Amino acid sequence: MRAASQRTRWLALGLLLVGLGAATAEAEEASADRERQRIVAIGDIHGALGAFELILRRAGLIDEQRNWIGGRDILVQTGDFLDRGADVKAVAELLQDLQKKAKRQGGQVIVLLGNHEALNLAMSLRDVTPEIVRPFAGKRSEKRRDRYCDRLLRRAEKKADSGPPPDQDGFLQACRVDVPIGMLEYIEALSPESSLGRWLRRLPAAAQVGGRLFLHGGLSPEWTDLSVEEINEKTRQELDQFDRLRKGLLSRDLIVQTSALAEITGVARALQLVVEERGVDIEDLPLETLKSTADFERWTLFDPNGPLWFRGYAKWNDDELRAFVQPLIERIGIDGIVVGHTPRKSQRIENRLNGRVMLIDTGMLSDVYGGRPAALEIIGDRLTAIYPQSSEPID
Protein backbone atom coordinates (compact mmCIF):
# COMPACT_ATOMS: atom_id res chain seq x y z
CA MET A 1 0.00 0.00 0.00
CA ARG A 2 2.80 2.33 0.98
CA ALA A 3 4.71 1.45 -2.22
CA ALA A 4 1.63 2.23 -4.32
CA SER A 5 1.22 5.57 -2.57
CA GLN A 6 4.88 6.38 -3.19
CA ARG A 7 4.54 5.49 -6.88
CA THR A 8 1.50 7.78 -7.07
CA ARG A 9 3.50 10.65 -5.58
CA TRP A 10 6.38 10.07 -8.00
CA LEU A 11 3.93 9.93 -10.90
CA ALA A 12 2.32 13.23 -9.82
CA LEU A 13 5.73 14.84 -9.46
CA GLY A 14 6.72 13.60 -12.90
CA LEU A 15 3.55 14.99 -14.43
CA LEU A 16 4.16 18.31 -12.69
CA LEU A 17 7.71 18.51 -14.04
CA VAL A 18 6.50 17.64 -17.52
CA GLY A 19 3.87 20.38 -17.24
CA LEU A 20 6.44 22.88 -16.03
CA GLY A 21 8.76 21.88 -18.83
CA ALA A 22 6.01 22.32 -21.39
CA ALA A 23 5.08 25.72 -19.95
CA THR A 24 8.73 26.80 -20.02
CA ALA A 25 9.08 25.60 -23.60
CA GLU A 26 5.93 27.49 -24.58
CA ALA A 27 7.21 30.66 -22.92
CA GLU A 28 10.57 30.32 -24.66
CA GLU A 29 8.82 29.69 -27.97
CA ALA A 30 6.60 32.76 -27.46
CA SER A 31 9.67 34.85 -26.67
CA ALA A 32 11.44 33.53 -29.75
CA ASP A 33 8.34 34.24 -31.86
CA ARG A 34 8.41 37.82 -30.69
CA GLU A 35 12.06 38.10 -31.65
CA ARG A 36 11.31 36.69 -35.10
CA GLN A 37 8.00 38.50 -35.66
CA ARG A 38 8.33 41.01 -38.47
CA ILE A 39 6.42 44.27 -38.20
CA VAL A 40 6.34 46.80 -41.03
CA ALA A 41 5.06 50.31 -40.26
CA ILE A 42 4.07 52.78 -42.97
CA GLY A 43 3.08 56.40 -42.36
CA ASP A 44 0.83 58.91 -44.12
CA ILE A 45 -0.31 57.85 -47.61
CA HIS A 46 -2.80 60.60 -48.57
CA GLY A 47 -4.09 58.83 -51.66
CA ALA A 48 -0.64 58.17 -53.14
CA LEU A 49 -1.54 54.73 -54.48
CA GLY A 50 1.50 54.18 -56.69
CA ALA A 51 3.97 55.11 -53.96
CA PHE A 52 2.12 52.98 -51.42
CA GLU A 53 2.16 49.92 -53.68
CA LEU A 54 5.84 50.48 -54.42
CA ILE A 55 6.88 50.46 -50.76
CA LEU A 56 4.64 47.46 -50.01
CA ARG A 57 6.46 45.53 -52.73
CA ARG A 58 9.89 46.73 -51.54
CA ALA A 59 8.98 45.55 -48.05
CA GLY A 60 8.02 42.13 -49.42
CA LEU A 61 4.39 42.37 -48.39
CA ILE A 62 2.65 42.26 -51.80
CA ASP A 63 3.43 41.05 -55.30
CA GLU A 64 2.74 42.77 -58.62
CA GLN A 65 -0.91 41.63 -58.49
CA ARG A 66 -1.37 43.15 -55.00
CA ASN A 67 -1.55 39.70 -53.40
CA TRP A 68 -0.35 39.43 -49.81
CA ILE A 69 2.99 37.58 -49.72
CA GLY A 70 3.98 38.67 -46.21
CA GLY A 71 2.86 35.45 -44.53
CA ARG A 72 2.66 36.06 -40.77
CA ASP A 73 4.11 39.58 -41.00
CA ILE A 74 2.21 42.48 -39.43
CA LEU A 75 1.64 45.72 -41.35
CA VAL A 76 0.75 48.80 -39.31
CA GLN A 77 -0.43 51.84 -41.26
CA THR A 78 -0.53 54.83 -38.91
CA GLY A 79 -3.40 56.76 -40.52
CA ASP A 80 -3.92 59.66 -42.94
CA PHE A 81 -4.60 57.60 -46.03
CA LEU A 82 -7.50 59.95 -46.90
CA ASP A 83 -7.38 63.49 -48.39
CA ARG A 84 -5.16 65.42 -50.80
CA GLY A 85 -4.10 62.67 -53.21
CA ALA A 86 -6.40 61.58 -56.04
CA ASP A 87 -6.42 57.82 -55.36
CA VAL A 88 -8.05 57.82 -51.92
CA LYS A 89 -10.74 55.32 -52.97
CA ALA A 90 -8.22 52.83 -54.36
CA VAL A 91 -5.94 53.15 -51.31
CA ALA A 92 -8.82 52.50 -48.88
CA GLU A 93 -9.94 49.51 -50.94
CA LEU A 94 -6.39 48.12 -51.03
CA LEU A 95 -6.03 48.40 -47.25
CA GLN A 96 -9.33 46.59 -46.71
CA ASP A 97 -8.37 43.89 -49.22
CA LEU A 98 -4.96 43.33 -47.61
CA GLN A 99 -6.56 42.96 -44.19
CA LYS A 100 -8.54 39.99 -45.49
CA LYS A 101 -5.68 38.43 -47.46
CA ALA A 102 -3.14 38.77 -44.63
CA LYS A 103 -5.52 37.19 -42.14
CA ARG A 104 -5.85 34.09 -44.34
CA GLN A 105 -2.07 33.58 -44.11
CA GLY A 106 -1.83 34.24 -40.38
CA GLY A 107 -0.62 37.81 -40.90
CA GLN A 108 -2.28 41.05 -39.91
CA VAL A 109 -2.91 44.51 -41.32
CA ILE A 110 -3.65 47.15 -38.67
CA VAL A 111 -4.90 50.50 -39.94
CA LEU A 112 -5.10 53.42 -37.52
CA LEU A 113 -7.25 56.53 -37.54
CA GLY A 114 -5.38 59.67 -38.47
CA ASN A 115 -6.58 63.22 -38.04
CA HIS A 116 -7.69 63.32 -41.69
CA GLU A 117 -9.91 60.26 -41.27
CA ALA A 118 -11.45 61.96 -38.22
CA LEU A 119 -12.02 65.17 -40.20
CA ASN A 120 -13.75 63.32 -43.02
CA LEU A 121 -16.01 61.31 -40.72
CA ALA A 122 -17.05 64.54 -38.98
CA MET A 123 -17.81 66.33 -42.28
CA SER A 124 -14.76 68.56 -42.33
CA LEU A 125 -13.89 68.04 -45.98
CA ARG A 126 -11.41 70.86 -46.43
CA ASP A 127 -8.82 68.66 -48.18
CA VAL A 128 -11.24 66.68 -50.34
CA THR A 129 -10.63 67.61 -53.98
CA PRO A 130 -12.77 67.03 -57.10
CA GLU A 131 -10.17 64.44 -58.16
CA ILE A 132 -10.74 62.48 -54.93
CA VAL A 133 -14.53 62.28 -55.23
CA ARG A 134 -14.71 61.62 -58.98
CA PRO A 135 -14.09 57.84 -58.64
CA PHE A 136 -17.13 57.64 -56.35
CA ALA A 137 -19.43 59.05 -59.06
CA GLY A 138 -21.85 57.01 -61.16
CA LYS A 139 -23.55 57.57 -64.52
CA ARG A 140 -26.28 59.78 -63.03
CA SER A 141 -24.10 61.72 -60.59
CA GLU A 142 -24.11 64.97 -62.56
CA LYS A 143 -27.93 65.06 -62.80
CA ARG A 144 -28.17 64.11 -59.14
CA ARG A 145 -25.81 66.95 -58.18
CA ASP A 146 -27.80 69.45 -60.24
CA ARG A 147 -31.08 68.36 -58.60
CA TYR A 148 -29.45 68.74 -55.21
CA CYS A 149 -28.34 72.29 -56.03
CA ASP A 150 -31.88 73.09 -57.22
CA ARG A 151 -33.26 71.90 -53.88
CA LEU A 152 -30.74 74.04 -52.01
CA LEU A 153 -31.82 77.05 -54.08
CA ARG A 154 -35.50 76.51 -53.23
CA ARG A 155 -34.55 76.06 -49.58
CA ALA A 156 -32.60 79.34 -49.62
CA GLU A 157 -35.48 81.16 -51.33
CA LYS A 158 -37.93 79.88 -48.72
CA LYS A 159 -35.67 81.00 -45.87
CA ALA A 160 -35.22 84.44 -47.43
CA ASP A 161 -38.84 85.27 -46.43
CA SER A 162 -39.46 88.93 -47.20
CA GLY A 163 -35.80 89.72 -47.92
CA PRO A 164 -34.18 89.75 -51.36
CA PRO A 165 -34.08 86.28 -52.93
CA PRO A 166 -30.69 84.78 -53.83
CA ASP A 167 -29.37 85.30 -57.33
CA GLN A 168 -30.36 82.03 -58.98
CA ASP A 169 -27.59 81.76 -61.55
CA GLY A 170 -24.91 82.80 -59.09
CA PHE A 171 -26.24 80.44 -56.41
CA LEU A 172 -26.33 77.44 -58.75
CA GLN A 173 -22.89 78.18 -60.16
CA ALA A 174 -21.38 78.39 -56.66
CA CYS A 175 -23.18 75.20 -55.64
CA ARG A 176 -21.72 73.27 -58.58
CA VAL A 177 -18.24 74.38 -57.54
CA ASP A 178 -18.81 73.49 -53.89
CA VAL A 179 -20.39 70.14 -54.75
CA PRO A 180 -18.27 68.59 -57.51
CA ILE A 181 -19.54 65.49 -59.29
CA GLY A 182 -19.11 62.52 -56.97
CA MET A 183 -19.20 64.55 -53.72
CA LEU A 184 -22.69 63.36 -52.72
CA GLU A 185 -21.64 59.76 -53.30
CA TYR A 186 -18.42 60.35 -51.36
CA ILE A 187 -20.36 61.69 -48.38
CA GLU A 188 -22.65 58.67 -48.53
CA ALA A 189 -19.62 56.37 -48.66
CA LEU A 190 -18.39 57.94 -45.40
CA SER A 191 -21.73 57.40 -43.65
CA PRO A 192 -22.23 54.71 -40.97
CA GLU A 193 -24.67 52.97 -43.32
CA SER A 194 -21.99 52.21 -45.96
CA SER A 195 -19.37 49.46 -45.90
CA LEU A 196 -16.50 51.97 -46.12
CA GLY A 197 -18.03 54.13 -43.39
CA ARG A 198 -18.48 51.16 -41.06
CA TRP A 199 -14.91 50.04 -41.67
CA LEU A 200 -13.54 53.53 -40.95
CA ARG A 201 -15.46 53.73 -37.69
CA ARG A 202 -13.95 50.45 -36.50
CA LEU A 203 -10.36 51.66 -36.94
CA PRO A 204 -8.45 52.16 -33.68
CA ALA A 205 -6.66 55.38 -32.83
CA ALA A 206 -3.83 53.49 -31.11
CA ALA A 207 -2.40 49.98 -31.13
CA GLN A 208 0.26 48.22 -29.08
CA VAL A 209 2.08 45.70 -31.29
CA GLY A 210 5.28 43.76 -30.68
CA GLY A 211 6.32 45.83 -27.68
CA ARG A 212 5.75 49.18 -29.35
CA LEU A 213 2.93 51.72 -29.28
CA PHE A 214 1.68 52.98 -32.64
CA LEU A 215 -0.33 56.19 -33.05
CA HIS A 216 -0.84 58.82 -35.70
CA GLY A 217 0.27 61.83 -33.65
CA GLY A 218 1.37 60.65 -30.23
CA LEU A 219 0.56 60.77 -26.53
CA SER A 220 0.97 64.23 -25.05
CA PRO A 221 1.28 64.90 -21.31
CA GLU A 222 -2.47 65.61 -21.19
CA TRP A 223 -3.36 62.17 -22.55
CA THR A 224 -1.15 59.75 -20.62
CA ASP A 225 -3.81 58.74 -18.11
CA LEU A 226 -5.79 56.76 -20.70
CA SER A 227 -4.99 53.23 -21.82
CA VAL A 228 -4.96 52.19 -25.47
CA GLU A 229 -8.37 50.58 -24.99
CA GLU A 230 -9.78 53.73 -23.39
CA ILE A 231 -8.47 55.96 -26.19
CA ASN A 232 -10.02 53.71 -28.82
CA GLU A 233 -13.33 53.52 -26.98
CA LYS A 234 -13.50 57.30 -26.65
CA THR A 235 -13.00 57.84 -30.38
CA ARG A 236 -15.73 55.33 -31.18
CA GLN A 237 -18.13 56.97 -28.74
CA GLU A 238 -17.42 60.42 -30.17
CA LEU A 239 -18.03 59.27 -33.74
CA ASP A 240 -21.27 57.59 -32.69
CA GLN A 241 -22.41 60.74 -30.91
CA PHE A 242 -21.61 62.89 -33.93
CA ASP A 243 -23.47 60.48 -36.25
CA ARG A 244 -26.59 60.61 -34.07
CA LEU A 245 -26.46 64.41 -33.92
CA ARG A 246 -26.08 64.76 -37.69
CA LYS A 247 -28.91 62.31 -38.33
CA GLY A 248 -31.20 64.22 -35.97
CA LEU A 249 -30.39 67.58 -37.55
CA LEU A 250 -30.88 66.21 -41.08
CA SER A 251 -34.26 64.74 -40.19
CA ARG A 252 -35.42 68.21 -39.04
CA ASP A 253 -34.02 69.98 -42.13
CA LEU A 254 -31.75 72.03 -39.87
CA ILE A 255 -28.76 71.07 -41.99
CA VAL A 256 -28.28 69.59 -45.47
CA GLN A 257 -26.30 66.62 -46.72
CA THR A 258 -23.21 68.70 -47.48
CA SER A 259 -23.28 70.77 -44.28
CA ALA A 260 -19.77 70.97 -42.87
CA LEU A 261 -18.62 70.41 -39.29
CA ALA A 262 -18.61 74.14 -38.48
CA GLU A 263 -22.25 74.52 -39.54
CA ILE A 264 -23.32 71.35 -37.70
CA THR A 265 -21.70 72.43 -34.44
CA GLY A 266 -23.11 75.95 -34.88
CA VAL A 267 -26.63 74.55 -35.10
CA ALA A 268 -25.90 72.32 -32.09
CA ARG A 269 -24.90 75.38 -30.04
CA ALA A 270 -28.08 77.24 -31.05
CA LEU A 271 -30.22 74.24 -30.11
CA GLN A 272 -28.38 73.95 -26.82
CA LEU A 273 -29.52 77.46 -25.87
CA VAL A 274 -33.12 76.63 -26.81
CA VAL A 275 -33.13 73.41 -24.78
CA GLU A 276 -31.56 75.12 -21.76
CA GLU A 277 -34.11 77.95 -21.95
CA ARG A 278 -37.09 75.60 -22.20
CA GLY A 279 -35.72 73.02 -19.79
CA VAL A 280 -37.00 70.17 -21.96
CA ASP A 281 -34.80 67.81 -24.00
CA ILE A 282 -35.38 67.22 -27.69
CA GLU A 283 -36.21 63.53 -27.99
CA ASP A 284 -33.19 62.29 -29.96
CA LEU A 285 -30.98 65.34 -29.32
CA PRO A 286 -30.56 65.53 -25.54
CA LEU A 287 -28.81 68.45 -23.90
CA GLU A 288 -25.68 66.45 -23.08
CA THR A 289 -25.23 65.51 -26.75
CA LEU A 290 -25.64 69.15 -27.81
CA LYS A 291 -23.21 70.37 -25.15
CA SER A 292 -20.60 67.77 -25.97
CA THR A 293 -20.77 68.38 -29.72
CA ALA A 294 -20.59 72.14 -29.25
CA ASP A 295 -17.33 71.53 -27.38
CA PHE A 296 -15.96 69.17 -30.04
CA GLU A 297 -12.50 70.81 -30.02
CA ARG A 298 -11.83 68.93 -26.78
CA TRP A 299 -12.77 65.54 -28.22
CA THR A 300 -10.13 62.84 -28.57
CA LEU A 301 -10.65 63.18 -32.33
CA PHE A 302 -9.91 66.91 -32.48
CA ASP A 303 -7.89 67.99 -29.44
CA PRO A 304 -4.68 69.63 -30.79
CA ASN A 305 -2.77 67.71 -28.12
CA GLY A 306 -4.77 64.53 -28.61
CA PRO A 307 -3.38 61.26 -30.04
CA LEU A 308 -4.39 62.12 -33.63
CA TRP A 309 -2.94 65.66 -33.71
CA PHE A 310 0.00 65.94 -31.27
CA ARG A 311 3.33 66.95 -32.88
CA GLY A 312 5.58 67.15 -29.82
CA TYR A 313 7.67 64.09 -30.66
CA ALA A 314 8.76 65.76 -33.89
CA LYS A 315 9.18 69.28 -32.46
CA TRP A 316 10.58 68.83 -28.92
CA ASN A 317 14.32 68.93 -28.40
CA ASP A 318 16.05 65.79 -27.11
CA ASP A 319 15.96 66.85 -23.46
CA GLU A 320 12.23 67.66 -23.56
CA LEU A 321 11.48 64.42 -25.37
CA ARG A 322 13.59 62.27 -23.04
CA ALA A 323 12.07 63.80 -19.91
CA PHE A 324 8.58 62.86 -21.07
CA VAL A 325 9.00 59.71 -23.15
CA GLN A 326 11.37 57.70 -20.96
CA PRO A 327 9.04 57.59 -17.92
CA LEU A 328 6.07 57.00 -20.24
CA ILE A 329 7.46 53.91 -21.95
CA GLU A 330 8.67 52.53 -18.62
CA ARG A 331 5.22 52.97 -17.09
CA ILE A 332 3.41 51.42 -20.05
CA GLY A 333 6.02 48.68 -20.36
CA ILE A 334 6.92 49.13 -24.04
CA ASP A 335 10.11 49.43 -26.07
CA GLY A 336 9.15 52.58 -27.94
CA ILE A 337 6.59 54.65 -29.84
CA VAL A 338 6.04 54.92 -33.60
CA VAL A 339 4.15 57.89 -35.10
CA GLY A 340 3.41 59.59 -38.42
CA HIS A 341 1.54 62.91 -38.91
CA THR A 342 4.49 65.31 -39.25
CA PRO A 343 6.26 65.01 -42.65
CA ARG A 344 10.04 64.86 -42.28
CA LYS A 345 11.90 67.40 -44.40
CA SER A 346 14.74 64.89 -44.63
CA GLN A 347 12.40 62.48 -46.46
CA ARG A 348 13.81 59.84 -44.12
CA ILE A 349 12.50 57.80 -41.23
CA GLU A 350 13.96 59.54 -38.19
CA ASN A 351 15.19 57.86 -35.03
CA ARG A 352 14.98 59.74 -31.76
CA LEU A 353 16.32 58.61 -28.38
CA ASN A 354 17.96 55.46 -29.73
CA GLY A 355 14.79 54.03 -31.22
CA ARG A 356 12.44 54.94 -28.39
CA VAL A 357 10.59 57.29 -30.77
CA MET A 358 10.39 56.65 -34.51
CA LEU A 359 9.02 59.29 -36.91
CA ILE A 360 7.82 57.59 -40.10
CA ASP A 361 5.93 60.21 -42.15
CA THR A 362 8.30 60.83 -45.07
CA GLY A 363 5.88 62.84 -47.25
CA MET A 364 4.82 59.96 -49.50
CA LEU A 365 2.47 62.16 -51.56
CA SER A 366 5.31 63.82 -53.46
CA ASP A 367 3.11 66.30 -55.37
CA VAL A 368 2.18 67.94 -52.08
CA TYR A 369 5.02 67.12 -49.67
CA GLY A 370 7.94 66.49 -52.02
CA GLY A 371 8.84 63.32 -50.14
CA ARG A 372 9.03 59.63 -50.91
CA PRO A 373 7.54 56.37 -49.63
CA ALA A 374 9.23 54.57 -46.76
CA ALA A 375 8.61 51.70 -44.38
CA LEU A 376 10.01 50.91 -40.94
CA GLU A 377 10.84 47.23 -40.46
CA ILE A 378 10.89 45.98 -36.88
CA ILE A 379 12.24 42.53 -35.98
CA GLY A 380 12.79 42.35 -32.24
CA ASP A 381 15.24 45.14 -31.41
CA ARG A 382 16.46 45.45 -34.99
CA LEU A 383 15.12 48.46 -36.90
CA THR A 384 15.54 49.00 -40.64
CA ALA A 385 14.36 51.85 -42.87
CA ILE A 386 13.15 50.65 -46.27
CA TYR A 387 13.13 53.10 -49.18
CA PRO A 388 12.43 52.59 -52.91
CA GLN A 389 16.15 52.22 -53.72
CA SER A 390 17.72 51.04 -50.47
CA SER A 391 17.34 49.49 -47.04
CA GLU A 392 19.30 51.06 -44.18
CA PRO A 393 19.80 49.70 -40.65
CA ILE A 394 18.83 52.13 -37.91
CA ASP A 395 21.36 52.28 -35.07
Lowest mean pLDDT among 108-117, 203-212, 263-272, 286-295: 286-295
Dihedral class, residue 89 (left if φ above 0, else alpha if ψ from -120 to 50, else beta) = alpha
Say which range, 80-94, 162-176, 197-211, 346-360, has the weakest mean pLDDT. 162-176
* Burial classification of residue 351, based on how many CB atoms lie within 10 Å of its CB (0-12 exposed, 13-18 middle, 19 or more buried): middle
| Whether the Cβ atoms of residue 158 and residue 165 lie closer than 8 Å to each other | no
In angstroms, the CA 102 to CA 145 distance is 39
pLDDT band for 27, please (50, 70, 90 cuts): very low
Residue 33 has pLDDT above 70, yes or no: no
Distance CA 160, CA 101 (A): 55
pLDDT above 50 (res 326): yes
What DSSP element (H or E) covers 351? strand 350-352
Out of 53-67, 149-163, 244-258, pick the least confident: 149-163
Q: Assign 395 a pLDDT band (cuts: 50, 70, 90).
A: confident
3-state class (DSSP) for residue 138: coil
Question: What is the overall mean pLDDT for the chain?
Answer: 91
pLDDT-based confidence at residue 382 (cuts at 50, 70, 90): very high
- Checking if the pLDDT of 16 tops 50, the result is no
Place 162 in a pLDDT band, splitting at 50, 70 and 90.
low
Three-state SS annotation for 42-88: ECCCCCCHHHHHHHHHHCCCECCCCCECCCCCEEEECCCCCCCCCCH
Q: What angle do CA 273, 249, 151 make, to 5 degrees?
A: 125
> pLDDT for 279-294, tens place per residue?
777 877 888 888 887 7
pLDDT digits (tens, 9 = 90+) for 343-359: 999 999 999 999 999 99
Q: How much of the chain, in percent, has pLDDT values that exceed 90? A: 81
- Confidence tier at 364 by pLDDT (50, 70, 90): very high
Mean pLDDT of all residues in 220-241: 95
- Domain ranges in the chain? 1-35, 37-129+188-240+297-394, 138-181
Query: What pLDDT is recorded for position 280?
Result: 74
pLDDT of residue 26: 52
* Helix, strand or coil, per DSSP, at residue 375: strand
Is residue 340 over pLDDT 90? yes
Q: What is the mean pLDDT of residues 179-204?
A: 98
Q: Is the pLDDT of residue 28 over 70?
A: no
Q: Please calculate the CA angle 393-36-218 and round it to the nearest 5 degrees.
A: 65
How far apart CA 53 and CA 91 sit, in angstroms, is: 9
Which pLDDT value is given to residue 79? Answer: 98
Give every CB contact of residue 35 below 8 A, 6+ residues apart in sequence. 379, 380
Helix (H) or strand (E) holding 142: helix 141-160
Which CATH architecture group holds 37-129+188-240+297-394?
4-Layer Sandwich (3.60)
Is 80 exceeded by the pLDDT of residue 363? yes
Given a cut of 80, is residue 328 above it in pLDDT? yes
Write down the pTM of the prediction: 0.89
Q: Is the pLDDT of residue 306 over 60?
A: yes
CB-based contacts of 108, cutoff 8 Å, min separation 6: 74, 75, 99, 102
Residue 15: the pLDDT is: 43
Give the integer Cα–Cα distance in Å for 368 and 352. 25
